[in-house]
Every structure is written in structure tokens, then in C-alpha cells.
């Protein structure tokens, strides 16, 4: 095209046409440079006991590696039960009814956790931490014996949606019952949303964030290509079972919860890391996993945990009643099948 413009110049000596054609050439050149500058930069690392990957599209090369880790680590420092100095660990060590200062983010997430607990009839409950530890899935390995009926008496009356109280006006929280808070079912989703806010503050309008298998995307991967996200086959993690185009959903976020992701065997019994707040035991369900698509990763994360606890029948009823985009994956003999909510 540049050669064609030069030949065109030779035919016109008029100053007007020279100026006009120079402007056209400049517009073409700037457009070409801008398109070429749409760069995809990938960042990766480890946090929250898992890995993360971020792909961001920008028009100039930038390095956000340290900033991305800082955003994720800030959430981890508040919500990790593995850190003795985290906010949640300080709360868990506090005396009953004693107020503990928290950040606005922590207070808001604690209130949201209570709301989701009530909405899901207790299927999502961050106050099950003693049981998480008891079965060996937390920082404290308290498991003693699978026959522990006498141990359960002290948990039955304690684990409730309102087992703690939040004073958001004064940014403080207190435990009302003898519970151990564990935000592992919502913290990763919240961290993704905080990172999404950070990237948008840097004028990055197109990105993909993945943290421990949970995902949030925005915009397009390139001018003519959407972000594509796969739901893995639980029986063969190297193969995608379903591929989704993020552009088909508003503010695409995806979270998956499944027993196959984190199990341990005790006394020849295979235990899931997900605790049913109703039975106070690790869940035993027929489905392999459940995935939730939502407008934000925080909600998707918590709802995936709740729907995993509910099981397929109750979970799909709940999803259809609340217009949720949900997919349950099951194993039938040697094959894998799936069922979706009617809003998927």
C-alpha cells in the first residue's frame, strides 16, 4: 500500500492533494502501529497454595508481575488460615464475643458469606473450619477417628450462619459461637475480583485471570478472537469436556467445585475436602464436579461450593429457582455425562 501511495503522489503536484494524501498515509501508519501494539502479556506464579495465571492485552509492553502478586497476596494475608498473622487467624484465636479489627474488604466478605449461607440454607458456611481441620484439610491436622459421634456434639449447636457478627461501620468482627472460620470456599474468587479491579484501574480492558482453576475474563483476546474457557473432564484432566466462549456471557466468571480435586484416605475411607454443614461430614455425592458461571468470581466460587454440597438434584432445583448458570458432571460406567440448569 505504501508503494501505491508513492506512485499516486507522482501523479499529483498540487499541494492540496499532497497534504491530503500525506494525512491518509499518516492515518494508515498510526492504525498499523496501534494494531501491532496490541500485545498479550502473560504472568504466572504461586499463591494461596495453588497457582495463578494472568493474560493481559495492552497497547504497550508493561510489567505488572509484582503488582499482580501484591494484589493476590494482600487477600491471602487477610484470609489464609495457614498464616498465623492473618486477619482470620487472629479472629480464630480471639475469645468469644471479643471484637477484632478488620479491613473493609474482610468485613464485606464476611457479611456476604453470611448472606450466601442463608440463601443456600447453610450449604455454604465459613464457620465449618473445625471440621476442615478435623479431617486434615486445614493447617491443623486434628483427625482422630472416623467414628467420632461424641466429638460432633460440640459442633452441632455451634456451626450456624450467624455464628459471628460483623460491625461494618466500625470495621470489626467477633465470634459468637465456638467456631473456626475458614474462607477457602470464597477467598480465591474474591482475590480474582480484586485483581480484576486492579487491571481495570490500569486501563487494561481485556484480560483473563485464572487462580486455582477459577477464572474471570473481560473483553476479547484479540480483535477477532474471544477468550475461550474449558471445563475439564474430571476423569482426564488433559482433555476439555466443554469449551465456553466468554463473549456469550456478561462479565464472565467460572468456578468449579468437585471431590476429585482434593481428597485424602483415612482408614481406607476416601474423604472429600468439602464439608456438609448439615451432616458435619465430608460430602458423598454421585456427581464428580459442579461448575457455576456468574457475573463475578466471588459469587461463582461460593455458589460452586454450596451446589457441590447440595448435590445434583437439589442443586439444579436451586439453580433453576435462582436463575443460575450451572453444570453438573457425572460419571456413568466408563463415560462422562453432564446436566445443566435451564439458564446455562
Q: Worst-scoring range by mean pLDDT, 26-30, 131-135, 153-157?
A: 26-30
Q: 10 Å Cβ neighbour count for 137? A: 23
pLDDT over 90, % of the chain: 57
pLDDT at 18 over 70: no
306-333 average pLDDT score? 93
The grid coordinates of residue 11 equal 501523479
d(CA 66, CA 167): 33
pLDDT at 144 over 80: no
Tell me the residue length of the chain: 344
Strand pairing partners for 45? 52
Q: State residue 142's pLDDT score.
A: 56
pTM: 0.83
d(CA 220, CA 215): 15
Q: State residue 148's pLDDT score.
A: 55
Closest CA to 307 of 321, 76, 296: 321
pLDDT at 176 over 90: yes
List phi, psi (to 5°) of 131: -75, -35
Confidence class for position 27, pLDDT limits 50, 70, 90? very low
Over the stretch 89-120, which tens digit does the pLDDT of each residue have? Answer: 999 999 999 999 999 999 999 999 999 999 99
308-334 average pLDDT score? 92
Q: State residue 271's pLDDT score.
A: 57
Q: State residue 263's pLDDT score.
A: 54
Higher pLDDT, 52 or 282: 52
What beta strand segments (E) does the chain contain?
39-47, 50-58, 100-101, 164-167, 172-175, 206-211, 214-218, 228-233, 236-245, 253-258, 263-266, 269-272, 275-276, 281-282, 287-294, 325-332, 335-340
Name, of 23-37, 209-223, 266-280, the range with top average pLDDT. 209-223
Confidence class for position 61, pLDDT limits 50, 70, 90? confident
Confidence class for position 332, pLDDT limits 50, 70, 90? confident
pLDDT at 20 over 90: no
Cα 111 to Cα 119, 184, 248, 312: the distances in Å are 12, 15, 31, 27
220-236 average pLDDT score? 86
Long-range CB pairs of 98-105, under 8 A, 24+ apart, other chains included: 98/174, 98/175, 99/167, 99/172, 99/173, 99/174, 100/172, 100/173, 100/174, 101/171, 101/172, 102/78, 102/166, 102/171, 102/172, 102/173, 103/78, 103/171, 104/168, 104/171, 105/75, 105/78, 105/190, 105/194
CA contacts within 13 A on the Cβ side of 176? 10
pLDDT over 70, % of the chain: 80
CA contacts within 13 A on the Cβ side of 110? 28
pLDDT at 124 over 60: yes
Strand pairing partners for 315? none
Mean per-residue pLDDT over the chain, rounded: 83
Name the residue with cell 486445614: 138
d(CA 254, CA 240): 14
User: Quick one: DSSP state of residue 225?
Assistant: B
Q: State residue 155's pLDDT score.
A: 78
Amino acid at each position: 500500500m505504501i508503494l501505491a501511495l508513492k506512485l499516486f503522489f507522482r501523479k499529483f503536484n498540487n499541494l492540496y492533494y499532497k497534504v491530503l494524501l500525506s494525512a491518509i498515509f499518516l492515518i494508515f501508519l498510526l492504525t498499523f502501529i496501534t494494531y501491532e501494539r496490541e500485545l498479550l502479556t502473560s504472568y504466572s506464579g504461586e499463591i494461596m497454595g495453588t497457582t495463578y495465571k494472568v493474560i493481559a492485552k495492552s497497547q504497550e509492553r508493561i510489567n505488572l508481575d509484582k503488582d499482580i502478586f501484591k494484589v493476590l497476596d494482600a487477600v491471602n494475608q487477610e484470609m489464609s488460615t495457614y498464616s498465623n498473622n492473618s486477619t482470620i487467624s487472629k479472629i480464630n484465636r480471639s475469645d468469644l464475643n471479643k471484637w477484632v479489627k478488620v479491613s473493609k474488604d474482610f468485613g464485606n466478605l464476611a457479611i456476604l458469606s453470611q448472606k450466601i449461607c442463608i440463601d443456600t440454607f447453610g450449604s455454604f458456611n465459613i464457620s465449618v473450619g473445625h471440621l476442615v481441620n478435623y479431617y486434615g484439610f486445614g493447617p491443623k491436622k486434628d483427625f482422630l477417628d472416623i467414628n467420632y459421634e461424641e466429638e460432633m456434639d460440640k459442633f452441632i449447636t455451634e456451626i450456624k450462619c450467624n455464628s459471628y457478627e460483623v460491625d461494618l461501620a466500625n470495621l470489626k468482627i467477633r465470634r459468637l459461637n465456638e467456631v473456626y472460620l475458614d474462607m477457602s470456599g470464597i477467598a480465591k474468587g474474591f482475590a480474582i475480583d480484586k485483581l480484576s479491579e486492579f487491571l481495570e484501574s490500569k486501563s487494561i480492558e481485556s484480560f483473563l485471570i485464572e487462580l486455582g482453576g477459577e477464572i474471570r475474563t473481560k473483553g476479547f483476546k484479540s480483535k477477532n478472537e474471544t477468550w475461550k474457557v474449558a471445563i475439564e473432564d474430571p476423569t482426564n484432566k488433559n482433555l476439555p469436556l466443554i469449551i465456553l466462549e466468554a463473549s456469550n456471557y456478561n462479565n464472565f466468571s467460572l468456578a468449579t467445585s468437585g471431590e476429585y480435586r482434593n481428597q485424602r484416605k483415612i482408614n481406607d475411607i476416601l474423604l472429600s475436602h468439602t464439608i456438609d454443614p448439615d451432616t458435619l461430614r465430608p460430602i458423598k455425592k454421585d456427581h464428580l464436579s459442579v461448575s457455576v458461571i456468574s457475573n463475578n468470581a466471588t459469587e461463582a466460587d461460593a455458589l460452586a461450593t454450596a451446589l457441590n454440597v447440595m448435590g445434583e438434584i437439589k442443586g439444579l432445583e436451586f439453580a433453576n429457582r435462582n436463575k443460575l448458570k450451572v453444570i453438573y458432571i457425572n460419571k456413568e460406567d466408563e463415560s462422562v455425562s453432564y446436566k445443566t440448569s435451564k439458564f446455562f
